[in-house]
Amino acid sequence: MGGFRRIAASDSLCDVTMKIPPDGLPIGRLTSGASSRANTLPRTCASDSPALCSAARSIALLFVFNGVLLGGWASMVPLLARDYQLNGLWLGALMLLLALGAVAGFRFGGPQVDKRGAREVAIWSYLPYGLALVAVAQQWTLSLLALAIFALGFFHAVMDVAMNSMAARYEQCRQRSCMPGFHALFSVGAGLGAASGSLTQQLGGSLSIQACGLLLLFGPGLLWIMHSQALPSAAELAASAQPADSGSQSVDQDISGSGATFSSGAAPGFAVLALVAAGCAMIEGVMADWLALFLIVQQGAPDAQAPLGFAAFSLAMVAGRLAAPRFVDRYGSVRVLQWSLLIGVTGLVWLLLSPYWLASLPAWLLIGLGYASIIPLCFSLAANASDDNNTGMAASKTEILADQHKHAAPEAQEGRRLARMGVFAYGGMLTGPVLIGWLYYASGMLTAFVGLLLVAMVMLMALRRAVRGTAEATT
């Protein structure tokens, strides 16, 4: 794998150095003739390049495949509890093993992506991920089931880091927001995987048939794409790249209206992004586990209609992720992130104030739309975040520029940052429902969801403060 290869070019405005990392997706560095400040903005690739079109299809399939297997696992949980006669305590312990496996996978996958490249990590992780799901579906002893569940969480996280790294590099090449769209495909895949469980049961099939069917359905296509060089090589991307029109813009300004996605500008630091991602994942987990019960207990929804709340929330999530790239390209990632948090807070307030479950229908949609693109945008911004200790609240302009120079090659730490972001997001999704359950037991359902609203407001205020602090430091 070795080090980076360099492809150099120059024009009258700036010198352009293309650094080609092992996974074949380039990161450009623009340096003006008289300035020593490093700019991590990549070169812009032709949107109709065959190499980029091939990359988009391959990365999209990775997201769909990852979501399908995770959705398949979710559909197996009730049947596993029945077949192994698991009570709530044992089932919770197995869920904890899945989480521990994911944390281990994130910690392992990040350095591997930085060392070997996202493409290679994705190639060797997808087959063990599928086989882990097949192992979960077998009628083995409880100890072997626990080992298989740990492996499932581990390889899910490894592939998650690789595919998000590839998606970040792809949108850096195109200079357009693409991450929310890829995450929308993950949501679609999760829905297909969950639906496969229902279909398998209706046809009288077993869990093994379901797991093997998912692997055989998506595995060969993914194998062909990964091994037929459908992911672009460094030479293909270099040939299809076009220098960005730098004009008179400085390194602290956005390019092509992409906001803070591809520049340091007023983007918050990693700590704030991690807080926002964890809070958003917490809200998503609570909506999945507790929204239906909230509608029944607090707003009198019939048992048969209560699941419609989460269905509407999920549809709004997919729609929001598909629509987000257009707004990001026009207004910038940080601004869309702030608007999304505000929309989500509005939806939660509407939900709490609604006297009847049908009156809260707009709230389900607002919450879904508001929190749809937050985690994808946090991953995208984290791929270019400067440092864990830079929260964007109190750094001076000199410190920021010095930090940019110190981290002139962000791809060297990209996998680790994405892995840490995954740990925060996954942790929030797991701990959120538990905390809400404790609050519900101690003080009632309404108090529990008021606590969720407070979390959402803390996220919004922290992001606004971080953005304002960074903007003031750079003026």
CATH of the domain at 344: 1.20.1250.20
105 and 205 together in one domain: yes
Residues whose CB is less than 8 angstroms from the CB of residue 110 and which lie 6 or more positions away in sequence, other chains included = 161, 415, 416, 417, 418, 419, 420
**Of the ranges 6-15, 202-211, 321-330, 407-416, which one carries the lowest mean pLDDT score?**
6-15
Q: How confident is the model at residue 430 (pLDDT cuts 50, 70, 90)?
A: confident
Domain assignment present for residue 238? The answer is no
Q: What is the mean pLDDT of the chain?
A: 74
Flag whether 254 is in a domain: no
d(CA 307, CA 296): 10
Q: Does residue 70 have a pLDDT over 90?
A: no
Do 217 and 81 belong to one domain? yes
Mean pLDDT in residue range 314-326 = 89
Q: What is the pTM of this model?
A: 0.71
Say what the pLDDT of residue 175 is: 77
With cut-offs at 50, 70 and 90, classify the pLDDT of residue 38. very low
| 237, part of any domain | no
CA distance linking residue 443 with residue 110, whole number of Å: 40
Residues 433 and 463 in one domain: yes
The DSSP code sequence of 266-329 is: T---HHHHHHHHHHHHHHHHHHHHHHHHHHHHHH---TTTTTHHHHHHHHHHHHHHHHHHHHHH
Identify the DSSP state of 260: G
42-68 pLDDT, tens digit each: 333 444 567 677 778 888 888 988 888
CA gyration radius, the chain = 22
Same domain, 213 and 331: no
Q: Are residues 301 and 399 in the same domain?
A: yes
Q: Which of the four pLDDT bands, split at 50, 70 and 90, describes residue 255?
A: very low
Among residues 272, 220, 256, 265, the alpha carbon closest in space to that of 463 is found at: 272
* pLDDT tens-digit series, residues 92-122: 778 778 888 988 999 999 999 888 888 888 8
* Domains identified in the chain, total number: 3
One-character DSSP codes across 368-425? HHHHHTHHHHHHHHHTT---TT--SSS--HHHHHHHHHHTS-GGGTHHHHHHHHHHHH
- Return the top range by mean pLDDT from 12-26, 113-127, 183-197, 449-463: 449-463
Q: Which domain holds residue 413?
A: 259-473
pLDDT for 404 equals: 42
Tell me: do 311 and 200 sit in the same domain: no
Q: Are 203 and 58 in contact (CB under 8 A)?
A: no
pLDDT of residue 223: 66
The arithmetic mean of pLDDT across residues 178-207, rounded, is 83
Q: Which band of pLDDT confidence, cut at 50, 70 and 90, is reported for residue 88?
A: low
pLDDT value at residue 154: 95
Q: Is 281 among the domain residues?
A: yes
240 lies in some domain: no
Q: Contact, 158 vs 358, CB < 8 A? A: no
DSSP-derived letter for residue 34 is T
User: Residue 266's pLDDT band (boundaries 50, 70, 90)?
Assistant: low
Closest to 142 measured CA to CA, from 84, 101, 91: 84
* pLDDT tens, position by position, 392-411: 333 344 443 444 444 444 45
**314 vs 259 pLDDT, higher one:** 314
Phi, psi of 230 (to 5 degrees): -65, -30
Instruction: State yes or no: pLDDT of 366 exceeds 90.
Output: yes
pLDDT at 402: 41
In a domain, 249, yes or no: no
Q: What is the pLDDT of residues 153-180, one digit of tens each?
A: 999 999 999 898 888 888 877 778 888 9
Name the β-bridge partners of 45: 241
Q: Does the pLDDT value for residue 2 go beyond 60?
A: no
Same domain, 15 and 121: no
**Quick check: is 154 in a domain?**
yes
Q: Assess whether pLDDT exceeds 60 at residue 260.
A: no
330 with 458, same domain? yes
CA dihedral in degrees (269, 274, 279, 282; nearest 10)?
Answer: 170
For residues 91 and 10, state if they share a domain.
Answer: no
Collect contacts of 292-297 with beta carbons under 8 A, ≥24 apart. Answer: 293/445, 294/351, 294/445, 294/449, 295/357, 295/360, 297/445
Query: Residue 230: which pLDDT band, with cuts at 50, 70 and 90?
Result: low
Which of 213, 230, 247 is the C-terminal boundary of a domain?
A: 230
H or E stretch covering 19: strand 15-20
Q: What percent of the chain has pLDDT over 90?
A: 22
Distance CA 258, CA 44 (A): 12
C-alpha 366/C-alpha 66 separation (Å) is: 27
Residues 344 and 456 occupy one common structural domain: yes
Residues 292, 205: one domain? no
More confident residue, 416 or 238: 416
In a domain, 247, yes or no: no
DSSP assignment of 49-84, as one string? -HHHHHHHHHHHHHHHHHHHHHHHHHHHHHHHHHHT
Is the pLDDT at 253 greater than 70, yes or no?
Answer: no
At 95 the pLDDT is: 77
Q: Say whether both 127 and 60 belong to one domain.
A: yes
Last-in-domain residue among 212, 230, 248? 230
